Amino acid sequence: MTITRRELLAGAALLPAARAFAWVPDRPRPRDVADAALLAAMQAGAKYADVRLVRQRRQNLATRDDHLTSISDTESYGIGVRVLKNGTWGFAAGPEVTARSAGALARKAAEIAEANAALERRPVQLAPEPPHEDTWETPIEKDPLRVPVKTKVALLVESARAAKAAVPQIRAVTGFFRLAIEEKAFFSSEGSAIEQMITRTGGGYTVTAVEEGRGFETRRTLLPPRGAGFEHVERAGLVEQAPRIAREALDKLRADRVKPGPRDLVLDPSHLWLTIHESLGHSTELDRVLGYEANFAGTSFATADQLGKLRYGVPLMHVTADRVEPGGLASCGYDDDGVATQRFDLIRDGVLVAFQTVRDQTGLPGFGGPRSSGCSYADSWASVPFQRMPNVSLMPGKAPLTLDEVIAQTQDGIYIVGEGSYSIDHQRKNFQFGGDFFWEIENGKLARPLRKVAYQSSTPEFWSSMDAVCDAREWRLYGAFDDGKGEPAQLNPVSHGCPPARFRNVRVIDAGAVQS
């Protein structure tokens, strides 16, 4: 069902009472505040300006074993004004959401742009985007901030009890929920007026098994954070899976350490998403490619001149980017440049075909089209929007293939589940990943658990070793709340979908022998 902005502003009759929009009755209307900022920016000589009013409400809750250790609810509300003057950006933000303050912020942003204009070598140009007047919200069933604290605590405490009852060696169970609602209103000097409400839900727990003489090992739940309501948590079966998670922690602690050497790897979606994120998601960001992140997050082995030519991997590799996938953490209606979100191919038949882009990259090498791909994001009203990763996903294979069949077709390998240690170089090539749980595969069967497994490879070598990709029945969406990038650093929520896939002859190391 589409809700028009007019209907929404008319009293949010279609929304539950708690889901008020960024504007609330005792505060000025966003439109009035934004108009004051846009007018002041134009009077100060801006060529373009935009205004974001953002209200963020978050609840972080943590438990240990049978009790709550912390609960914190935060609310943040403010205004950020971005001005393009003399070909240079300026940005100013503050917590006072009034027309008077908005005007002052616009003038400050113009002053900043003016101060930096003398340093400018290439005046900023914006890719065209039609003005949008629209609303968008994450479809949810249960507002995560309205679910009683006791219900949330009970889920984690019951999980801890179930884990400890099943396995006495479980020494600690730490649980958490992270729940966030981001409401934002975007207005631009080009006429856009967009209001969005984005809901994100995540949580889970970690069990630690301890045995004297063996040390300790941990095992985590596999509840991916989602652009969803609390119904996502309730359907996950946290309590039901606790005994198995506990047993696997002990199995892991008692398992043999892996024998280093080249092995075939079958990677579960709960693990492979992070490898996709680090090696494919980041290497296809155009700002990295052009050196804009060189001082911090790094650049990319993929260069602009290789667009359409660079072979990332085997022909069955098809990778998309989107901000429209249902449940995706990066999914929304419009990015923070006011660009309508899209789905597009990054890698087709194993070859790089596009970079992720934002509006101010137009005319730069690698931009790739007349329009931005909608990848702008700012993590609060106080942050400057810049290029952030959309949901980047490996598409399922076209031939029918299940996880069980891939394992059955593997003679000597390792099946890796969940996230572990992860590290990749600043050009996104040399990487090393651990996992949360490891099964040795022998003659097509899961033979025994393993411990201290990590693998090393480089991006093109790894993706060229992929020889099996399961079909759509096995495709799953995982992700993370906190992808860090930029200076000052900002955090971007992003999802990655994939099916299980197999990779041949990957260098496996014993992570317990740190000189490996």
Partner 1 sequence: MRTGAKELCARALKAARSAGAGEAAALLSDRRDGHLRFADNGPTTSAEVQRSTLSLSAAIGLRHASGSTEDLSPSGVQRLAEDVVARARLAPEDPEYVPEAPPQTYPQVPSYDLGAASIDPRTRAALVKPVLDAAVQNDLVAAGLLRNDLVEEIRLSTTGSSGTRRATRVELSATLRRRDGSASGWAGSAGVHLSDVDPQKIAARAAQKATAWREPRELPPGAYTVVLEAGALGALFPSLRMSIDARSAEEGRSAFSAPGGKSRVGEALFSPVVTLVSDPQDPLVPGTPWSEGGLAARRVGYIQAGMLRELHRSRYWARKTGTAPTADGGTLRLVGGGLSLEELIGKVDRGLLVTRIWYVRMLDPQRIGVTGLTRDATFLIEGGRIAGAVKNFRFNQSIVDLLRDVVALGREEAALGGELSGGLALPPALVKDFHMSSVSEAV
Planar angle of CA 142, 145, 151, nearest 5 degrees: 80
The residue (of 116 and 362) whose beta carbon lies closer to partner 1 is: 116
Tell me the three-class secondary structure of 214-281, residue by residue: CEEEEEECCCCCECCCCHHHHCCCHHHHHHHHHHHHHHHHHCEECCCEEEEEEECHHHHHHHHHHHHH
Determine contact, residues 357/287, Cβ cutoff 8 Å: no
DSSP structure class, residue 2: -
Cβ at position 462, least distance to partner 1 in Å: 13
Spatial distance between the Cα atoms of 101 and 494, rounded to a whole number of angstroms: 33
Taking the C-alpha atoms of residue 470 and residue 499, their distance in angstroms, rounded to an integer, is 5
Rank residues 1 and 514 by Cβ distance to partner 1 and give the closer one. 514
Q: Output 228 or 511, the one with its CB closest to partner 1.
A: 511
Q: How far apart are CA 95 and CA 80, in angstroms?
A: 9
Q: Which is nearer to partner 1, 303 or 342 (CB)?
A: 303
Rounded Cα–Cα distance for residues 10 and 191 (Å): 20
For residue 488, whether the previous peptide bond is cis, meaning omega lies within 30 degrees of 0, is yes
Neighbours of 417 (CB within 10 A): 21
CB of 431 to partner 1, least distance (A): 8
In this complex, which beta carbon is closest to partner 1, that of residue 90 or of residue 338?
90
Name the strands in the sheet holding 351-352, side by side, starting at the edge strand that comes first in the sequence. 351-352, 343-348, 319-322, 391-394
| Separation between Cα atoms, residue 365 and residue 371, nearest integer Å | 14
CB of 445 to partner 1, least distance (A): 28
Residue 263's closest CA among 420, 415, 433?
415
Which CB, 88 or 270, lies closer to partner 1? 88
Name the minimum Å distance from CB 294 to partner 1: 4
- Considering the complex, state which of residue 238 and residue 454 has its C-beta at the smaller distance from partner 1: 454
Least CB distance from residue 78 to partner 1, whole Å? 6
| Min separation Cβ 64 and partner 1, Å | 7
Cross-strand pairs, 319: 347, 394
Report helix, strand or coil for 22: coil
Please, what is the minimum distance in Å from the beta carbon of residue 287 to partner 1? Answer: 8
Q: How far is the CB of 217 from partner 1 (least distance, A)?
A: 9
Nearer to partner 1 by Cβ, of 47 and 343: the residue is: 47
